[in-house]
C-alpha cells in the first residue's frame, strides 16, 4: 500500500534529514520535501507538533516520527534497504548510530545547547570558537570514525559495501558523511548553508586531503554517487 510521506527540516543544508532523503531517492519512493525557515520551525514547534521540539520529522500518513535514525530506519524497512538477517540488521544499526554520533559531534562545532525561556534550545558559537572546534573535529574525531568504517568494509569480503554484498541504509549513511564532510563540497563557501563561516574567520574549508587514506570509502562513494537516481538527486541538490 502506498504511503503518503512528508519530510520536514530546515532550509539551510542537508543535515540530519539527508539520510532519509537518500534512502527514499535511492528506492525511487516519492515524498514531499518541506524545507522550513527558522520562523516556520518555531511556529510548528509552538503548535506542539514536533516530538522533542526538534527537526527533522517524517509524517507517514497521519503519524509523525521524530529522531533522524528512527525516520531513516522506517524508510529503510519500507524500501527493503534494512537487512533482514538479525546480525546484519544490528551491524547496520551500529553504523547508523555512528553516523548520528559523528553528525552530533560535527554540529557541536557550530552550536551549543542551553536552556532559555523554559526551553532547551540551540545557540550559535562565536566564529572563532567554530573554527577551533572544526579544526579539532577534522584532525582527531573524523579519522577515528572513518578508520572504523574503512576497516568494516575491508573485513567484509564483498567489497565495497559495509554489510554483505549490496547497498543497505548503512552504506547510504556513510555516503552521506562522505558527502557532507567532503572538503571539495560547495557548501563550505555557500552563504545560504549553515556551515558557512563569514570573513575574517572563514570561510572554513576542511583539509583537502582528509579522505586520501580511505580507499574503500572512496570506492563506496563512487558506486553510490554513480547510481542514476542518486546522481540526479546530487546534481539537483548540491548543498
Ligand X SMILES: N[C@@H](CCC(=O)N[C@@H](CS)C(=O)NCC(=O)O)C(=O)O
| Residue closer to ligand X, measured from CB, 77 or 100 | 100
SS3 string, the chain, reads: CCCCEEEEEECCCCHHHHHHHHHHHHCCCCCEEEEECHHHHHHHHHCCCCHHHCCCEEEECCEEEECHHHHHHHHHHHHCCCCCCHHHHHHHHHHHHHHHHHHHHHHCCCEEEEEECCEEEEEECCHHHHHHHHHHHHHHHHHHHHHHHHHHHHHCCCCCCCCCCCCCHHHHHHHHHHHHCCCCCHHHHCCCCCCCCCCCCCCCCCCCCCCCCCHHHHHHHHHHHCCHHHHHHHHHCCC
Does position 55 bind ligand X by CB under 6 A?
Answer: yes
Taking Cα atoms as reference points, which of 71, 147, 133 lies closest to residue 105?
133
Residue among 60 and 121 whose Cβ is closer to ligand X = 121
Q: Which is nearer to ligand X, 77 or 108 (CB)?
A: 108
- Rule CB under 6 A: choose which of 5, 7, 8, 16 binds ligand X: 16
The contact mask relative to ligand X for 122-151 (x = CB under 6 A, - = no) is: x-----------------------------
**Residue 92 within binding range of ligand X, rule CB under 6 A:** no
- Min separation Cβ 113 and ligand X, Å: 7
Closest to ligand X by CB, 153 or 170:
170
Give the nearer residue to ligand X in terms of CB position, either 73 or 221.
73
Binding mask 159-198 for ligand X (x = CB under 6 A): ----------------------------------------
Asked if 102 is part of the footprint of ligand X (rule: CB under 6 A), the reply reads: no
Q: Which of 100, 108, 125, 133 binds ligand X (CB under 6 A)?
A: 100
Q: Shortest distance, CB of residue 52 to ligand X, whole angstroms?
A: 7
Residue 78 CA to its chain's centroid (Å): 19
- Positions touching ligand X (CB under 6 A) are 15-16, 54-56, 67-68, 100, 121-122
Amino acid at each position: 500500500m502506498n504511503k503518503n510521506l512528508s519530510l520536514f527540516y530546515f532550509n539551510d543544508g542537508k543535515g540530519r534529514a539527508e539520510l532519509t532523503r537518500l534512502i527514499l531517492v535511492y528506492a525511487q519512493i516519492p515524498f514531499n520535501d518541506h524545507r522550513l525557515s527558522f520562523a516556520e520551525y518555531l511556529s510548528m514547534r509552538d503548535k506542539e507538533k514536533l516530538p522533542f521540539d526538534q527537526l527533522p520529522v517524517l509524517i507517514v500518513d497521519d503519524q509523525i516520527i521524530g529522531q533522524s535514525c528512527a525516520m531513516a530506519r522506517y524508510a529503510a524497512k519500507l524500501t527493503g534497504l534494512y537487512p533482514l538477517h538479525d546480525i546484519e540488521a544490528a551491524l547496520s544499526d551500529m553504523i547508523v548510530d555512528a553516523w548520528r554520533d559523528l553528525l552530533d559531534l560535527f554540529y557541536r562545532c557550530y552550536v551549543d545547547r542551553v536552556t532559555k525561556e523554559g526551553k532547551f534550545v540551540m545557540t550559535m558559537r562565536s566564529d572563532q570558537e567554530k573554527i577551533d572546534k572544526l579544526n579539532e573535529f577534522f584532525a582527531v574525531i573524523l579519522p577515528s570514525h572513518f578508520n572504523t568504517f574503512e576497516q568494516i568494509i575491508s573485513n567484509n569480503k564483498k567489497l565495497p559495501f559495509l554489510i554483505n554484498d549490496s547497498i543497505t541504509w548503512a552504506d547510504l549513511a556513510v555516503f552521506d558523511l562522505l558527502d557532507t564532510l567532503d572538503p571539495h563540497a560547495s557548501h563550505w563557501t555557500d552563504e545560504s548553508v549553515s556551515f558557512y563561516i563569514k570573513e575574517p574567520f572563514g570561510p572554513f574549508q576542511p583539509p583537502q586531503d582528509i579522505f586520501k587514506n580511505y580507499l574503500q570509502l572512496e570506492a563506496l562513494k563512487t558506486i553510490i554517487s554513480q547510481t542514476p537516481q542518486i546522481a540526479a538527486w546530487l546534481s539537483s541538490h548540491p548543498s
